[in-house]
Each structure stands twice: as C-alpha cells, then as structure tokens.
Structure 1
C-alpha cells in the first residue's frame, strides 16, 4: 500500500499563496530511491519524509529527510514548517525536535488566531566569498552587471542549512524585470555546490526585503517561499552588520510566481536564526 502524502502550503501571505510541500508522516519503511520517486511524483520543490518517530521514547523527537524531484536536499525550511504544522494539527501544538541531515532543528508551534504558526531555529550560520568566476557567471546568467548590485550589501554565499548566494539589487525595476535561463542557473548551482536557491533580493527598508529565489528543479524555476534562504539572509545581515541585532526582518517572496508569501526572520545577537510562518493543508 503506497504511503499517504499530505500537501501543505507554507508561508502563505494570501489565500493561494505560499510554497507547497509534500509530507509523508510515516516513511520509516521507505528506501531512499522510493522517497525520491514519491518526491518526483508529487512534483513540488520538496517533499519531507518522517523516517523515525519516538526517538529515545519522545513522541515529539523525529528524524526527517527532504527530497526535491531530482535529488535529496540537506535541509528545507518550508517543508519543515509544513511538517511541524501537520504534526501539531494531529498531536497538539508545542515544541518538536527534528533530526535532519544538517543536524538537529528545534521547531516550536503555537496557535495564533485560530491557525498554527511554526518557528524553526536554524543551525549556526556561516558566510563564504564567491569565486570571481562564479560572480561573473551569475551576473551573466541573470543579464545583470555588477553595478546593478546594491553597494550596501556585499555579494556572499550564506549558509544556515543550505548554501545560498545572496545578491541584493539596487533598483526595484531591475529586480522585477531580470530574466534567466533555468538550465544555466542549474549548471552553475551544481558546480558551486549551492544546494539551496540563488537568492536575489531588493531592500524595501533595512528590515523588509522582497525576494526572488531561483531554484530550477523539475517544473519549478522560482521558489515561492524559501525558509532556508530566509535563515541564511538573517545570518548574512548579522555577519555584514547590515542590521542592529536583535531584530526582526520580513521577507516577501513568491509574487513573481503568483504565490505571495511572507517569512518572518528573527535575528538574535548570537546563534541560529529563527524563521516563522504558517502552513495550511491544500485541498
């Protein structure tokens, strides 16, 4: 009997918004090739698989893996939020601990205005410079020039579960209007080991960002909401001194693909970044 697959949209800002994720709550008997096949059949950017329950006798301590339609992904923020909400609906709100390929993730759920909001704390962020050839290739594939970058924000690769290059553009029109070749972006991402998204942003204010997250996989080209990119952005803003911490940052994403999303990012003085959002079941 095939496993039951739930479908939830995480981080929705409006009805019909958010990033869809598949969820298999009972995946302990599945092999990696079987999980990969299910993720490909679901077709969302990621599907989460709960592979172990009741770790050390704790019903809220679980092991989880994430698969895109093409490959296993070390961490997926929107599928983490969606899975936590699905569990809270069935088992009650409160804290869960997920064992992920990048390490343990604590995620808290609570009832807000009749719905459930979930918040995960990322692993410790870190930054890396891009090689000059990768910078040149990225600008070329986006049809942009280095002068299009907002000079207040350096071009860096940021990690909070996945590596995401973070490019902040100066002009809103440039941000809205750039186009890209998905195949070329995918080739560059694979060559650079960017397992997350290419995160292109525009700063509305120092604490409000519009985001387009490029993620060519299967039929997807742009991700509507990317929790790991939001966490990476929080680590990036703290590391570059772009915000005074502690603070909260809002990331608006998904409008360019017709699925408006909102991600709340709490940046503490030290430690992991907290990303919060809602998730609702897709009928």
Structure 2
C-alpha cells in the first residue's frame, strides 16, 4: 500500500473486466470504455497499462484533459510516437513519465551512486540479459507477445531493460549494432544489441523469448566489478567484486511487494509539487532510449504499422 494513494477509477474495453478489477482492488468507478473512465470521481493522475499499441492514443487522451500520466514502458512503439507524446505534454504543460520502475528501485539507485563514486574505478563495460521461455512456435499467433501490431517481440517487452540500464550508466551510445531472430510475422524473439560509448566502453544487452536467463547485470571496471543481483530489473541488492581472493562486498536494499511503489511515490511527489516531468527519468531520457530502440529495430528488420 502507498500512503495517501487511492484507486478511484478503472477503465477497460470491457465493462465486465472493469467491474472485476474494480471489485478486486476497491475502485469506486468502473468504465467499459476509456473515455467513460473520466465520468466518475475526480482523477489526479492516470496509469496506462494497456498493450503497447494503446499507449499513444490513451496518453494523448489524458493529456488533452489535463490529467498527469504515468505510461507503462515502452512509452511509445517508435521514436516518432514518443516525440508526439512528449510534444503534447510540453505544449499542454501536463505531467508525463514513462513507467520504467527499475530507475526508482533503491538497489539500482545506490549501485549507480557507487559506480559514480569510483567503487570499481573507470567503468569499461556492461553485460546484461533478460529472458524467459515464451510460447511454443505453433502458438505464436495466439499471443500478443508475438504480434507486431501490438508491439510484440522481445525488444520492447524485456530488451528495453538491459538497454535502459546501459543508458542509465553510460548515457547516449555512439554506435549501435544489433542482430536478432525474427518470426515470419515480424516479431523479434532472440535479440542481441551491442552499444559502444565515447571512451570505448561496450554494453552487451541480450533479450530472448526462447529460454530462461538469469536476468543478470555485471558492470566491469578498471578496479573491480559490480554485480546487480538477479533479477536485475527488480533487484534488492548488489555486490562489489575486487581481487580474485577478496570476498564480495554485499549491499542489500530489501523492500516489500513488487517495487512499483517507489515509482508511484515519485510521480505523486512530482504531481503535488506541480512539476511537468520527472528529474529522475525525464522526457529527454525517454526520447534517447526510444531513439536507440528504434535504431535497433531498423537494424533487425522489425517495423510496425504506420512507420
């Protein structure tokens, strides 16, 4: 539970699903269309958690009504879509943030502070992976995860996490190289991305729907390494590794629940303070991330309708 937060309304394409969700989580108002969501109690902010293909339309719907938005990652299915959303937010002066909840987890925040403070010396590289076993090939057509019309594929669902982490540590890449295994329908299911940064550091980012990985992240430095405990995108700790005979120095940052509360609290603070975007995960951060993701898709041959 989050202090001072209350679920007042839920919107769905189905009245039945909206009613069930509202009953389960105690929402006051359940709407069978997204537009009707706003016909109930006053809404201070909206969290958009539809399939990727709905993010642009629904974000613009909320921004036009002057309602702050926390939109689930990926903010848009392409760089162009994200540009459109950012422009709408800035022109209307309404708050918008992409829901990359990992950015707000204490373990990852503290790991970044340790790296910036020289805990492993000069950072030379990153290796991060995220994989799970998806549907058998014969079931691809039945699952939105493999449907390009819905933004399906490994990259936007889970590959975004390793690439986000690389950006969090290094900033903007100067070179992007990507390769992938793509289904006949056009969804990537096994994707490798290598990012090079000014100074020569490399980030190796891997995502797959073909098998389970450790969801590990390792930062390599001139004086040691920093291991973000798996699964890194929801980690509760990290370790600093130095000499081969030295024990790891462990840092634990436990929390209850899933960890979305840190992101939610940050948005609540921003909205109450009248801010138009987050200082921790800004709209410029989202634009840079989606510039990288869109270039990766160009290289692996994955495109979406309307591009």
If you compute each CA radius of gyration, which structure gives the higher value, 1 or 2? 2
Fold agreement, TM-score > 0.5? no
| Structure with more strand by fraction | 1
When normalised by structure 2's length, the TM-score is 0.28
When normalised by structure 1's length, the TM-score is 0.30
| Structure with more helix by fraction | 2
